[in-house]
Amino acid sequence: MNELLQSPPIFAALGLLSAVAVLLLWLATGAGRRERRLLERFNEALDRNALDHHREILRDLHAGLDRQTDRIGEHARADREALQSGLAAASMQLSRSIETLTQGVEGQLRTLSGQVNTRLDEGLRKTGETFASVMARLATIDEAQKRIDGLGASVVSLQELLGDKRSRGAFGEVQLEALVRNALPPDVCAFQASLPNGTRVDCLLELPPPTGRVAIDAKFPLENYRRMFDDALSQSERKAALTAFRADVRRHVDAIADKYILPGVTADGAVMFLPAEAVFAELHGSHPEVVAYAQSRRVWIVSPTTLMAVLNTARAVLKDVETRRHIHVIQSELAKLAQDFQRFEARMGALARHIEQAGKDVAEVHISSRKISARFQRIEAVRPDGRGEEGGALEMSAGAVDAPEAD
């Protein structure tokens, strides 16, 4: 192998190959540099072209932007002018509307103010009237309060009066006398009348038979009645007062029956007058056995209210008796009245006949008046030549007019 390498031809070939390789290497290296330079130049050319294109595009873009900006500015100016004109018109319309509204509100306020003033005046007037009425009522209330105070004093005096048995009897007698005198005539009642047994009755009624003379007693037991409702007493004391009250009433009933029911002198019954409605209600509401006992003794217990019913019944009886007593006078007067009515009827018939005859006479007079008027008309219608205006019509009607009136 070394011998081959050391031979001249081979050596020359190797040298040539080396030279070719170096040449190729140089050519390759130069071609790379040229290629790089060409690429650089191409890139530079591309960059210059792209930059120019970009600049052209930017110039076009700037020009377009300027034109768009101008158009936008013009549109903005137009919109601003339209907006300003619209705002001005709206402002004017708003001003007119506000002015109209203000005028309407002012008118309504004036009307409302007038109504408010009117109502205030009316309210003040009514308030004044109400105040005056209230003051008048207050004055009335003050007067009523004074009267109530006086009534309270009177009630206290009445309680003091009713606390004494003698004063209580006098009070009952006065009330009984007032009721009887208001209901009956004075000739049928007597007060403090004496009876044959020597007793004196508070009131004696003279009623027609078969009732006769009715005695009324005006005294009543009240001491134990007041103790029954005295809260200061114990329950046992009030029960004892209740028992004593029933016993008092029974004793009083017995006393009335014994003193005032006299056979042949007075009626078979007498009346016990209780001036207090409360005592009467207590007896009939809570003590019916006492009322039954009084009825068994022919003693009738009455209050001012029930006594008025009894007196009204007595007055009706008296009126009926008086009517029956004068019945013959009434019958005589009725007979005379019947005769007078018969005469009146006869005279009324005669007057009717006269009126009827007068009507006939008036009718006949009216016929005569028509005939006389017709004669005057015929006379006025006659001409100087002796004929009427209508020729034979005058002679045709003459027979009817000239006919004498029948008497």
Cβ neighbors of 274 (< 8 A, separation 6 or more) are 220, 280, 283, 301, 302, 303
| Polymer length of the chain | 407
The span from the CA of 288 to the CA of 291, in Å, is: 5
Give pTM, 2 decimals.
Answer: 0.44
The span from the CA of 319 to the CA of 162, in Å, is: 37
Pairing of strands 200-206, 189-194: antiparallel
pLDDT of residue 85: 80
Cβ neighbors of 165 (< 8 A, separation 6 or more) are 219, 223
pLDDT of residue 169: 58
Cβ atoms of residues 179 and 308 within 8 Å: yes
The span from the CA of 116 to the CA of 109, in Å, is: 10
How is residue 156 written in tokens? 């206290």
Mean pLDDT of residues grouped by 10 in the chain (407 residues)? 52 67 68 69 69 75 77 79 77 76 74 74 76 77 71 47 55 85 88 90 88 87 83 88 90 92 90 88 90 93 90 87 75 80 84 83 82 81 57 46 49
Cβ atoms of residues 305 and 328 within 8 Å: no
pLDDT of residue 292: 94
Query: For the chain, how long is the longest CA-to-CA vector?
Result: 220
- R_g over Cα of the chain: 73
Amino acid at the residue 76: A
